[in-house]
Amino acid sequence: MTSNFFITLFSFITAISVLVFIHEFGHFIVGRYFGIKVLKFSIGFGKKLWSKTHGDDQTEYCISLIPLGGYVKFLDGREGEVEKEDVGRAFNHRPIYARIAVLLAGPLFNFIFAILAYWFLLTNGVLSVKPVIGDVLGGSYAEDAGLLYGDEILKVGNKETLDWESVIIYILNDITSTGSVNLEVKNPAMGSRKSVIEIQEDSSSFTEPGEFFQNLGFYPWRPPAVVGSVYEGSPAEKLGIRTGDQITSIDGEHVKTFDDLVNAVSSRPGKIVSIVFNSNGNDIISELELGTTNNNGLQRGFLGISLSEQANKYIYIKTYDFKHALLKSLSQTWVSTVFTAKMFGRILTGKVSLRNISGPVTIAKYAGESASIGFNEFLRFLALVSISLGVINLFPIPMLDGGQILYQGIELVKGEPLSMRFQVIGNQIGIMALIILMSVAFYNDIFNLY
């Protein structure tokens, strides 16, 4: 438990620090390009843990105690008198187009990072699961739409789907916009056919965390707990488990899918457990001592079996060449960005649940979980959070980049800067909006914990 906590904490600090650095570096490098003097570049807030001054401008670079953000401080004539040699190098002395470029650079670098992360994943091979439907619940929207076990979702509307991530994005978008979802599915026994899911209730219930599949009435297909191969010298081999056997219970815990089996075994490292498995039509009840493996500092139980061949029909690794990986990474970042922006907009109209606003505890949880799976999954997590960070910073809230861009746009139209009184009032409203947003996020964190 202790090691898991430290892995989660380290993963969270790493994730936030990397994404904040990328965002602030965008502001920094574009500001330098336009000749603006940089006074300070800080990762984190509060007490300085480390600092160093460097360069002709004696810019202070520092790492601070609270790793929940960062900032670049430019020379600004609105905050005090500018030295004679620095006239023209203050932020407010530069042309409006330069100021807007500097403000846009932070979110833009977040999107660029996501593109590069997706490109790296796609060129190295992405483990994907075909969007095949598993169990369909009786009396559900899915059953009313005629969806069946084994249906592969080919399209949502006119958009092709290759994995569950795209299916969820497209279905959620349609549910929260029109309440109607048009699907094209394919079943080995019935071929391709059309299906329509008509939602007759408040769409926000489908956006509650963890409620998407339950409310629709189906679950993704998962490989059954059927043994593909048995590792030599493993606990499974010693017990006599063979290829084709199906495990149905671990320590009285029902096992249906291979995921269930992995979760039951990994949480019991080195323990003696009771196991029930079916071999040649006969249920066998026995006991065995699980092995132990070390995964990124976490002790996990080990049985010593692999997936059956059936899973290979649905689980695959897709690798792209440089050009196609770049095009797909651009497309994936764009789709995720538009989807994130729409979801935030629909939160304001009540079509999407407020519980989707996550705070640092939830982010830390997913950072730890993704890091424990492996580097690729952690990088995918960073890409998604980077997109969210970019979108949020473009909100027209005065304390964020989007609000400052709005100020510059008004100045461009008006022909003169906004009055200090107007800016102070705007900043106060912005602070209140951020406090409300943070309060909702922390409430959701506490709600999810308990």
* Cα 345 to Cα 385: distance, rounded to the nearest angstrom: 17
* From 76-80, 111-115, 119-123, 330-334, the region with the lowest mean pLDDT: 76-80
**pLDDT score of 118 more than 90:** yes
CATH number given to 235-313: 2.30.42.10
Mean pLDDT in the chain? 86
Average pLDDT over residues 9-36: 92
User: What band does 94 get if pLDDT is binned at 50, 70 and 90?
Assistant: very high
Q: Other C-beta atoms within 10 Å of 97: how many?
A: 11
Sequence-distant (6+) residues with CB within 8 A of 320 are 122, 123, 328
User: What band does 449 get if pLDDT is binned at 50, 70 and 90?
Assistant: low
* Cα 387 to Cα 281: distance, rounded to the nearest angstrom: 50
DSSP state of 243: T
Domain segments of the chain as ranges:
101-124+320-450, 235-313
Query: Which among 426, 436, 438 is positioned nearest to 398, based on CA atoms?
Result: 426
Q: Looking at the annotation, which residues are catalytic?
A: 24
Query: Which among 228, 146, 163, 76 is positioned nearest to 380, based on CA atoms?
Result: 163
C-beta of residue 41 within 8 angstroms of C-beta of residue 59: yes
Tell me the pTM: 0.81
